Amino acid sequence: MTTLHSASYALQRQKLAVERTLYARSAEESLLAARWASAWHKLVQRKLDQDLASRMPPVPQFDGFLIATPSRLLH
């Protein structure tokens, strides 16, 4: 399974969790669904970062400085 494919799957699951949050019948159900949505959001972001890192050429290290690669952010 490719990283983008798994990110797409996680994004679909996040969407379902958000919908469950919006249509929850109780505060407890809403809180639980919101936690799931947050977890799926973190997974999607991690998969997108992994995909971006795999596409970026290796970045040379100069004098011990770590050059961080840019990441894609979900909004």
pLDDT single digits (tens) 2-38: 777 887 888 888 888 889 989 999 999 999 989 988 9
**Which ranges of the chain does DSSP label H, i.e. alpha helix?**
3-22, 27-55
pLDDT higher at 72 or 52: 52
Query: Which pLDDT belongs to residue 54?
Result: 78
Query: Which pLDDT belongs to residue 60?
Result: 61
Predicted structure pTM score: 0.62
- What is the CB-side half-sphere exposure of residue 26 using CA atoms within 13 A? 3
Residue 62 sits at φ, ψ, to 5 deg, of -115, 120
Query: Which pLDDT belongs to residue 4?
Result: 75
Query: Which pLDDT belongs to residue 14?
Result: 86
- DSSP, residue by residue, 30-51: HHHHHHHHHHHHHHHHHHHHHH
Q: What's the rounded Cα separation, in Å, for the pair 40 and 74?
A: 12
